[in-house]
A and B are shown apart, each in its own frame.
Chain A
Amino acid sequence: MAELLQFVFSGLTVGAIYALVGLGFTLIYNASDIINFAQGEFVMLGGMTTVFLAAAGLPLPVAALIAIAVTTGVGLALHRLAIEPARGSSPVALIMITIGASIFLRGSAQIVFDKRFHSLPPLFGNDPIHFGGATILPQSLVVLAGAAVIVVLLWLFIERTVLGKAVVATAANRLAARLIGINTRRIVDFSFAVSAAIGAVAGILIAPITLTSYDVGTLLALKGFAAAMLGGIGSAGGAVVGGLLLGMIEAFTAGYISSNYKDAVAFLIILIVLVAMPQGLFGRAKIERV
C-alpha cells in the first residue's frame, strides 16, 4: 500500500512537471495553429535566468520576476522577428521556424550562461512530507498548484474576457476575425508573450526538482508536448490531465513492470489513445460552419 502510494506521488511529481510544460503549448496553438517547439527553451530561459540573476546577488523573487519578463520579451521577439515575417506560410513551415528558434536559443544559452547543471532552492524546504508510509516533496505540490492556477486563469481568460474570445476567433478564421475589427497580429503577439511567460513560470517552479541547464528544454518540451497531445492540444485542462496521466503511467510502469520500459509504455499508450481519439482526450473536433 505504501508502495502504491509512493508510485502515485512520483506520478504526481513528474506529471505536474509535464502538465506545467504542456500548458505552454495551449495558447499559441489556440491563437495561431502553430505548435511552438521553442516552448522548452522558454522553460529553460525561465530557470536559467533566475539561477544566474540570483547568483549575481538579486533576491530570488526579484530574479524570478525579471526572468519571466526576459522570457516574455524573447517570446515576443520570436513572433515579431521569425514567425510574423513568414506569415502566410503553411503551419508546417512555421513549426520548422520554431524548431530553428529552439536550436538558436539553446546555442545562445550555452554561450550566455554556461554548460553546467544548476538548481534553485525549493519554496518550502527539502524535507519530504510523510503520508501513509510514502513521501512527497513540498515542491511537487507547488508545481501542482502552479499548474492548477494557470489552468483556471487560462480558462477564465478564454471563456470570460473579450480578448480571450478574440484569441479564439483569430484561431478559427484569421480573415473573418480581421474583418470584424480584431487586430490579429496583436493577438498572436499576445499569445506568444503569455506562452513564454507560462514557460518561464514552469521553468522556475520545476528547477528545484528537475535541476536546470541550457539543454533542459528539449526533452521537457517533448514530454510536455506528448502530454498536451494526449489531453487534446489547445485544451488547458486537457494538458494537465494528459501530463498527470503520462506521469502516472511512467511511475507505475517503473514500479510494477520495469524502469527499462517506462518511456516505451508511456508512448505506446499515447499512440493507442491518438489512434482511437485523434483529437486527444479533451480536444474539440474542429467544426466548420457554413
Chain B
Amino acid sequence: MRALQHITLAASLGLVTLFGAGHQASAQIKIGSILAVTGPASFLGDPEKKTLQIYVDEINAKGGVNGQKLELTVYDDAANANKARTFATRLVEEDKVVAVIGPSTTGSTLAIMPVFEDAHIPLISLAGAVQIIRPVRKWVFKTPHTDTMACEKIFADLKRRHLTQVALISGTGGFGKSMSSECHKVAGKVGIKIMTEETYGPRDSDMTPQLTKIRDTPGVQAVVNPGFGQGPAIVTRNYRQVGIKVPLYESHGVCSKQYIKLAGAAADGVRLPCAALLIADKLPANDPQKPVVVNYARTFQKATGQPVSTFGGHAYDGLMILVDAMKRAKSSDPAKVRDAIEQTKGYIGTGGIVNMSPTDHLGLTLSAFHMLEIKGGDWTLVPGT
C-alpha cells in the first residue's frame, strides 16, 4: 500500500516537473503596440497593424524567437495622445510587455515616451518627427525617415538642377507644419532661399488663391509642398490649373499610388523623395534592399489584397529590428534587448540600411531616400540620385 502511494507521488511529481518544464519552453514573449488603427491617421495605423499581425504569425509558425512564441497586444489610440498614454501605462503595468512598437503618430509618441523611459522598456516608434530621436533618449528608437531628411533630399536635388529659390505651400496639419519648419532650418545651411510660404487647411478643397500668389512671386524657381493626405493631390491639380511652369516637389508623405490616382495627369513631372519599397520592381537587381522590399510587398499584397504603403514597411522594420535584437541578445530581457537594438548594424529593411549607435537611434542616411519622378502615371527613378 505504502509502496503504491510512493509511486503515485513520484508519478505526480514527475508530471508536475514535466508540465513545469513544458510551460517554460512555450512561455511567450509579450510585445505591445499602440497604433492609430482608426481615426484621422488610420491610413498609417491600418497597414501597420496588418503588417505586424502577418509577420508575428509567420515568425511564430517558424518556431518563434529564441524558442519562444511572440504574443502581440495591439491597442488603437485613434491618433489621440491621451488614449495613447493610457494604453502605454496599461502595456507596462498590466500586460507586462518586454518591448513596444508604435505609436503611428508623432503626437502620441511624444506623449508616451516618458512612460517607457521610466519603465525601462524599449519603444520603437513608427512616427516621422525628428524630435523623437533628437535629443537621443535611452529607451526610444524609431524606424521612419525624418522630415529633415526629406527636406535635405529635395534641396540636394534642387541644387543639382541649379535651382536655389523656392516657394513653400504647406499643410497646417502636424506633418506639414513640422516639415515646413525643418525645411526652413535646412534651407539656410544648404544655400536655398525660401522666397514665400503659403498654407492650406487639411480639408481645404481649393488652393488656387495661394498658388496664384506663388505664381506671381518673382524669382520662384521651384515649389515644395510639405503635407500629406488629400491636400497635396488638390495642390497638384490646382498647380496645373493656374499654369505654374516651375518644378513641383511633394514630400515623402504622399508616397503611395493613391496620390497619383487622385492627382491624375496633373501629377506628371512631380518629384518626391520616397523609400525603396514603392519602387520595389524598379530597383536595379544588385540593390541590397531589393529582395527585402519585393518580399514584403508580395506578402502584404497577398495577405490583404491592398497595395503596399511605406507606413506598413515602417512597422515591418520595427518588428524585424526588435526580433533581430532579441536573437542577438539571446534573451527577451528589456535591458538586454535595448542594448542589442542600439547595436543594430547593417540591418536591411524596407526603409533603408539601418546602422544604429548610442548617438543615432534611427540609423538611416540620406541614401535611404530615392528621388522619384512621376511619368505617365507611374514612379520612375531620377538617375544619379
Residues of A bordering B, CB below 8 Å = 3, 6-7, 9-10, 13-14, 17, 110, 115-119, 126, 128, 135, 137, 206, 209-211, 213, 215-216, 219-220, 251-252, 254-255, 259-260, 262-263
Contact = CB atoms under 8 A, between A and B. Distances in A.
7 contacts: A6-B212, A110-B38, A117-B229, A119-B261, A210-B205, A259-B209, A260-B199
A229 B302 CA distance: 50
Contacts of B234: 210-211
A254 B40 contact: no
Contacts of A252: 209
A115 B43 contact: yes
Contact of A259 (B200, B233, B241, B262): B200
Contact of B210 (A13, A17, A115, A259): A259
Contacts of B200: 259
B206 A14 contact: yes
Nearest to B201: A263
B205 A209 contact: yes
A262 B207 CA distance: 12
Sorted from nearest, which 10 A-B pairs have the closest CB atoms? A210-B205, A255-B209, A254-B209, A115-B42, A219-B203, A10-B208, A117-B230, A211-B230, A6-B212, A128-B241
A117 B213 contact: no
A9 B206 CA distance: 10
Interface of B: 38, 40, 42-43, 46, 172, 198-201, 203-206, 208-210, 212-213, 216, 229-230, 233-234, 237, 241-243, 258, 261-262, 264-266
Given A6-B242, A14-B205, 8 more contacts: A14-B204, A110-B38, A116-B43, A117-B233, A126-B237, A206-B205, A211-B205, A216-B203
Contact of A117 (B46, B205, B258, B264): B258
Contacts of A219: 203
B258 A254 contact: no
B212 A3 contact: yes
Contacts of A7: 209, 212
Given A3-B216, A259-B198, A260-B199, A251 B258 contact: no
Contacts of B262: 117-119, 211
Nearest to B44: A115
A213 B205 CA distance: 13
Contacts of B229: 117
A14 B234 CA distance: 13
A81 B32 CA distance: 40
B17 to A, nearest CB: 49
B344 to A, nearest CB: 32
Nearest to B229: A117
A220 B201 CA distance: 13
A211 B206 contact: no
B43 to A, nearest CB: 6
Contacts of B42: 110, 115
Contact of A13 (B203, B206, B213, B261): B206
B40 A126 contact: no
A211 B233 contact: yes
A115 B46 contact: yes
Contacts of A115: 38, 42-43, 46
A17 B201 CA distance: 16
Nearest to A110: B38
A119 B258 CA distance: 10
Nearest to B42: A115
Nearest to A247: B206
Contacts of B213: 3, 255
A213 B209 contact: no
Contacts of B199: 259-260
Contacts of A259: 198-200, 209-210
A10 B206 contact: yes
A14 B238 CA distance: 13
Given A213-B230, A263-B201, A135 B46 contact: no
B242 A135 contact: yes
A36 to B, nearest CB: 20
B210 A254 contact: yes
B241 A135 contact: yes
Nearest to A214: B42
A116 B259 CA distance: 11
A116 B258 contact: yes
A228 B195 CA distance: 39
Nearest to B199: A259
